[in-house]
Amino acid sequence: RRVQPLRLEKRGALYYLYAYCYRVEENRTFRLDRIEAVQPEDAGPQSTGNADALKDLAD
């Protein structure tokens, strides 16, 4: 299954991946302990090292 990760979240003792699923063309939730394999397609966005910009986004 090919997905675009959106965020990780912890609920109790479990972690979940929220991602866009290309197969069903909508967002889905996946339990991390049930994911059997991962194959990255590319490196994704690169950090610019600008911590202030990241802090502004968090605020």
Give the sign of the dihedral formed by CA 45, CA 49, CA 53, CA 58.
positive
- Where exactly are the structural domains of the chain? 1-36
Per-residue pLDDT tens for 8-44? 999 999 999 999 999 999 999 999 999 999 998 876 6
Q: What is the pTM assigned to this prediction? A: 0.65
Alpha-carbon distance of 26 to 28, in angstroms, equals 6
Q: Does 58 have pLDDT greater than 90? A: no
pLDDT of residue 27: 97
